[in-house]
Amino acid sequence: MPLYSRTNSLDQLDQTILIVVNSAWNLVNFRAGLIKGLKEKGFRVVAVAPVDIDRTTLADLGCEFHEVKLLLQSLNPWGDLLFMVNVLWLIKRTRAKACLFYTAKPNVYGSLGARLLGVPYINNISGLGSVFIGEGWLVKLMTFLYRVALKGSSCVFFQNPDDRDLFIQQQIVRREQTQLLPGSGVNLEQFKPSGLVRSSDQAFTFVLIARLIKDKGVVEFIEAAQKVHQTHPDVEFQLLGFLGVQNPTAISKEKVEEWTQLPYIHYLGAADDVRPFIERSDCVVLPSYREGTPKVLLEAAAMGKPIIATRVPGCKEVVEDDVTGYLCEVKSPHDLAQKMVQMIELSAAQRARMGQLGRLKMEQQFSEQIVIDRYLVVLQALP
């Protein structure tokens, strides 16, 4: 018997949706469009996350916000249990009609709490992260926890078919529970070609935009840059992204400072708005080991930029090889360098054509509105 009985119908209750993620930064950068879309349809939206950004930024979301504590890299079960209790309390306090969970710990412990209370919940597997890339007891533990937590899910959204197939094969979810989403989508009005034409006397520029962790292929990017520099000494290579993130593969500040001693490697720091950096680049690169659907690639393509990414789940769905950019082999600086040289040696018109086709692909397959509409369909079908 659930602790919190949902005796009223959807129309009789306040239409409250609880969104739980592992960081406020995630809310602002990946869920803002969905929050706005839900609010426009009359839902009351309550967001829950640890605070890791300036609180004034959260006000721009236009929804209620509650802070919770969550130790992302800790294996302390008491901390995770406390997180689950806090989510339970917020579900009861807000009288949520449904919960939306994102990222590993909210997907597991938030789902267990909602299931205990008898509240419908929807999950989003936005990527498998470093845990599922590896092997060992931690993978087995996470597989078990996901299996228990997702059993009662009304819908489990996946951002690429490979992740969904893996979860089905491991009997973590049932196929009929699942749907595919085009990542978190891209706002086609916010991210669009600027019309800026780069001068031929400007240095050709590659930019990698990501959290600075090894799983994003940052090391391979630097090694490939060193190879390309030998034959194309005027090309610049830029890194944009957060240092010091909580991740077992995080790259140290000292290592980045060592790289930037090379005159062609530039670390740009972190930025809330990536558009100026995409605009001033010739090509956006993401040599990631695995993704859900990388938002930065959607944003780059929407702005009409050609892309180089790895032939891995999440990236290969976004980039059409030799059409909107190039796909390279994962963990291969040599292949990445070859694709970079190919990109450099294209004419400006050929790169522009790649960018145009990338923009068209975003319009047809990856619009943020597609994501919002699919969530609305599932929410409206809840009992």
What one-character-per-residue DSSP string does 270-319 give? --S--HHHHHT-SEEEE--S--S--HHHHHHHHTT--EEEESSTTTTTT-
Report d(CA 179, CA 168) in Å as an integer. Answer: 12
Residues 165 and 211 in one domain: no
pLDDT in tens, 283-309: 999 999 999 899 999 999 999 999 999
What is the model's pLDDT at position 133? 53
In a domain, 160, yes or no: yes
Of the CA atoms within 13 Å of residue 257, those in its CB half-sphere come to 3
What is the model's pLDDT at position 135? 62
What is the model's pLDDT at position 74? 61
Please give the distance of CA 352 from its chain centroid, rounded to a whole number.
26
Residues 158 and 174 in one domain: yes
Residues 248 and 283 in one domain: yes
Q: Which two tokens stand for residue 130?
A: 């470093």
In a domain, 33, yes or no: yes
Low-confidence ranges of the chain (pLDDT < 50): 1-13
What is the model's pLDDT at position 197? 74
What one-character-per-residue DSSP string does 106-166 give? IIIIIHHHHHHHT--EEEEE---HHHHHS-SHHHHHHHHHHHHHHTT-SEEEESSHHHHHH
Residues 292 and 373 in one domain: no
What is the model's pLDDT at position 73? 59
Which region, left, alpha or beta, applies to residue 286 given φ > 0 means left and ψ of -120 to 50 means alpha? Answer: beta
Residues 215 and 146 in one domain: no
Residues 26 and 137 in one domain: yes
**Residue 130: closest CA among 286, 247, 251:** 247
Residues 165 and 296 in one domain: no
Residues 173 and 225 in one domain: no
Report d(CA 92, CA 149) in Å as an integer. Answer: 19
Residues 126 and 139 in one domain: yes
CATH number at residue 20: 3.40.50.2000
In a domain, 9, yes or no: no
Question: How many structural domains compose the chain?
Answer: 2
Q: Which two tokens stand for residue 105?
A: 């710990």
Q: What are the DSSP E strand ranges found in 187-264?
A: 205-209, 236-240
In a domain, 3, yes or no: no
Q: Which two tokens stand for residue 128?
A: 């498998």
Q: Which two tokens stand for residue 379?
A: 């929410």
What is the model's pLDDT at position 56? 76
Residues 109 and 63 in one domain: yes
In a domain, 197, yes or no: no
Residues 34 and 172 in one domain: yes
**Domain hosting residue 145, numbered range:** 16-185+367-380
Of the CA atoms within 13 Å of residue 93, those in its CB half-sphere come to 10
In a domain, 20, yes or no: yes
pLDDT in tens, 228-283: 999 999 999 999 998 877 778 899 999 999 999 999 999 999 998 999 999 999 99
Q: Are 67 and 51 in contact (CB under 8 A)?
A: yes
What is the model's pLDDT at position 9? 35
In a domain, 190, yes or no: no
87 phi and psi, to 5 degrees?
Answer: -65, -40
In a domain, 193, yes or no: no
First to last CA, the chain: 17
Q: Are 94 and 46 in contact (CB under 8 A)?
A: yes
Residues 103 and 93 in one domain: yes
